[in-house]
Amino acid sequence: MQTKISASVLSADLAHLADQCQLALDAGVDMLHIDVMDGHFVPNLTYGAPVLSCLHRALPDACYDVHLMIDDPDRYALDFAKAGADLITFHLEAPVDPSATIAAIRMAGCRVGISIRPATPVEKVFPYLGEVDMVLVMSVEPGFGGQAFLPETPSRLAAVRRELDRRGLTTDLQVDGGVNDDTAPLCVKAGANVLVVGSALYHAADPAALTNHLHNLTHAVCP
């Protein structure tokens, strides 16, 4: 399975958002990961749909991977779809009916992801595996970039990938938080095929070399 890299712009210099996104695209990433936080679901605030809309106008050909860390995805998902999202991921822990939210995001014309926080048992996401395009297993507590990768993550990824395989599903499996050249191989070996990379990319001396290294590394690990 081809491994993809989604650049989390949370760690970028937000005064130059489009340039920083272009930098990631020039480095070879496959998607731009837009972390949306509402100050309720997580103790931090970031950006709303108008920011994505401007970004999409500046860089219309990029693929936008929107990660909603918010209590009310039903209220805002359509705004992000209209703003140019390609893929919208919401959290299983949000107080919604997950199947209805999945259907609403799909109706809005986007691919759908469902995410679980580190403390949520992986089995809780199993009922929705057949309904989504991607499962996102958080490898840090959502809310902030630059945190350390949680060591229990590979076994959680492996449990999801095992269940997907058992059911004959080729659903994308994304990992987000503390992914770098040390932790990425563990994730891919466990079955992740979409890596979110934030601070490791934006703090890299040579982002293109890092991206290339991660792509090559994943190919080597995952024949």
Residues annotated as catalytic (active site), given as ranges = 35, 176
Look at the block and give the residue holding tokens 């997950």: 98
Q: Which does 146 bind (CB under 5 to 8 A by kind): ligand DX5, Zn ion, none?
A: ligand DX5
Phi, psi of 81 (to 5 degrees): -60, -45
Handedness of CA 143, 92, 183, 151 (dihedral sign): positive
User: According to the binding rule CB under 5 A, does residue 4 interact with Zn ion?
Assistant: no
Please identify which residue in 35, 38, 65, 172 interacts with Zn ion, judged by CB under 5 A: 35
Cβ 157 vs Cβ 137: under 8 Å: yes
What are the helix and strand counts (H, E) for the chain?
8, 8
Q: Does 153 bind ligand DX5 (CB under 6 A)?
A: no
H or E segment and range at residue 25: helix 17-27
What is the largest distance, in Å, between two alpha-carbon atoms of the chain?
46
Q: Which stretch binds ligand DX5 (CB under 6 A): 120-128, 151-159, 177-185, 187-195?
A: 177-185
Among residues 130 and 215, whose Cβ is nearest to ligand DX5? 215
Q: Rounded to whole angstroms, how far apart are CA atoms 172 and 185? A: 17
Q: One symbol per residue from 151 to 190: x for binding Zn ion (CB under 5 A), - otherwise; what is it? A: -------------------------x--------------
Beta strand pairing status for 134-138 and 172-176? parallel
Write the binding mask 69 to 88 for ligand DX5: x where contact by CB under 6 A, - elsewhere: x-------------------
| Residue 11 in the binding site for ligand DX5 (CB under 6 A) | yes
Q: Which does 185 bind (CB under 5 to 8 A by kind): Zn ion, ligand DX5, none?
A: none
**Per CB under 6 A, 146 contacts ligand DX5:** yes
Residue 91 makes contact with ligand DX5 by CB under 6 A: no
Torsion of the alpha carbons at 110, 116, 122 and 127, rounded to the nearest 10: -40
| Binding partner of residue 85 among Zn ion, ligand DX5, none, CB cut-off 5 to 8 Å per kind | none
Tokens of 58: 């500046």
Q: Look-up: residue for tokens 């989390």?
A: 8
First to last CA, the chain: 8
- For residues 21-80, which are near ligand DX5 according to CB under 6 A? 33, 35, 67, 69
Instruction: By CB under 5 A, name the binding residues for Zn ion.
Output: 35, 67, 176
Chain positions contacting ligand DX5, by CB under 6 A: 8, 10-11, 33, 35, 67, 69, 140, 142-147, 176-179, 196-200
